[in-house]
């Protein structure tokens, strides 16, 4: 087991590991796992050959533990350092009576418990007794108190995440408050930007109206000038025939005198 642990680390620091799979590595006891795995959330030790859990490390964030197909008959008290445990699979072990399950009382968040293929399941009213002894358990061997099958593994994981989220409610509340503040600031900035855009647009429209008025004034001036020039030209043209008539009259008078 110790070599397998080193192999799974792949040069990383134990505190960086959140999920560790040690299935099928052969060992009768826990070796290589230490309290350094402070962020470990999922640990799988299926079909390892464990006969005892003595030496099991303190894993404060462990929520899912797979221990199926081993030879464990007692010693669940060695899991006491895993207070956030929500999912425990002990199927295919050697647990014979309910007393061996007594240490599970300490796990207030335990929601999923699997004891399938243990001798304890042969006890009369086994399911009712286990649910009575461990009220936090929602699914036992894949079924709830009303013998309704668990929807799927995803649904179980959602329940687990919800419970873990309740433990971190204060931190989540602080994060939500910060996000609300950021959102308020962002909305204020957007509102201010919109006002500035509207102000700029109004200025542009106002400038456009002034320019149109100036253009209208220029057109009016041009029309006035054109009209004046036309009248002046018409006046000049009107004088030309009059002068021509006067010239012809004067010439006629000169001829009569002669």
Model confidence pLDDT, tens digit, residues 3-14: 999 999 999 999
Residue 112 φ/ψ, nearest 5 degrees: -125, 120
What pLDDT is recorded for position 4?
Answer: 94
User: How sure is the predictor about 121, in pLDDT bands with cuts at 50, 70 and 90?
Assistant: very high
Q: What's residue 156's pLDDT?
A: 53
pLDDT of 66 > 50? The answer is yes
Place of tokens 């680390």: 9
pLDDT of residue 193: 61
**First-last CA distance in the chain:** 154
The CA distance from 7 to 95, in Å, is: 31
Token digits of residue 34: 């230490």
- Whether the CB-CB separation of 85 and 114 falls below 8 Å is answered with no
Kindly report, residue by residue over 214-252, the tens digit of the pLDDT: 555 555 555 555 555 544 445 444 444 444 445 444 444
d(CA 1, CA 47): 12
Query: Residue 247: what pLDDT?
Result: 47
Average of per-residue pLDDT values in the chain? 77
- Of 144 and 178, the structure prediction assigns the larger pLDDT to 144
Q: Is 145 exposed, middle or buried (0-12, 13-18, 19+ CB in 10 A)?
A: middle
Residue 67 to residues 50, 87, 136, 224, Cα–Cα distance (Å): 9, 11, 20, 103
Spatial contact of 1 and 27, defined as CB atoms under 8 Å apart: yes
pLDDT of residue 258: 40
Helix (H) / strand (E) element for 87: namely: strand 87-89
Q: Residue written as tokens 């425990």?
A: 88
Supply the pLDDT for residue 124: 95
Question: What is the tens place of the pLDDT at every residue in 149-205?
Answer: 987 654 455 454 555 555 554 445 554 555 555 555 555 555 566 656 655 555 444
Q: Are the beta carbons of 39 and 62 closer than 8 angstroms? A: no
Using the predicted structure, report yes or no on whether residue 16 has a pLDDT greater than 60: yes
Would you say how long the chain is, in residues?
258
The percentage of residues in the chain with a pLDDT greater than 70, rounded to a whole number, is 59
Nearest by Cα to 81 from 99, 98, 97, 103: 103
pTM, rounded to two decimals: 0.62
CATH class of 2-167: alpha beta
In angstroms, rounded to a whole number, what is the distance separating the alpha carbons of residues 52 and 71? 8
């Amino acid at each position: 087991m110790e070599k397998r642990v080193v192999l799974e680390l792949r040069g990383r620091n134990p505190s960086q590991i959140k999920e560790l799979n040690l299935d099928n590595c052969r060992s009768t006891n826990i070796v290589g796992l230490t309290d350094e795995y402070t962020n470990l959330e999922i640990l799988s030790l299926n079909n390892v050959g464990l006969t005892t859990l003595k030496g099991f490390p303190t894993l404060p964030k462990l929520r899912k533990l797979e221990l199926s197909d081993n030879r464990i008959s007692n010693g669940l008290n060695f899991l006491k350092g895993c207070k956030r445990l929500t999912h425990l699979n002990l199927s295919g072990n050697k647990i014979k009576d309910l007393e061996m399950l007594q240490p599970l009382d300490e796990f207030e968040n335990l929601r999923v418990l699997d004891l399938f293929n243990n001798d304890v399941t042969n006890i009369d009213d086994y399911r009712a007794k286990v649910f009575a002894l461990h009220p936090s358990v929602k699914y036992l061997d894949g079924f709830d108190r009303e013998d309704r099958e668990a929807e799927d593994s995803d649904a179980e994981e959602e329940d687990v995440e919800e419970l873990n989220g309740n433990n971190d409610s204060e931190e989540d509340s602080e994060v939500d408050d910060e996000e609300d503040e950021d959102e308020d600031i962002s909305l204020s900035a957007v509102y201010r930007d919109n006002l500035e855009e509207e102000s700029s647009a109004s200025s542009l429209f106002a400038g456009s109206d002034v320019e149109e008025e100036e253009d209208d004034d220029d057109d009016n001036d041009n029309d006035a000038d054109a009209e004046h020039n036309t009248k002046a030209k018409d006046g000049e043209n009107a004088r030309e025939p009059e002068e021509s008539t006067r010239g012809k009259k004067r010439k006629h008078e000169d001829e009569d005198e002669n």
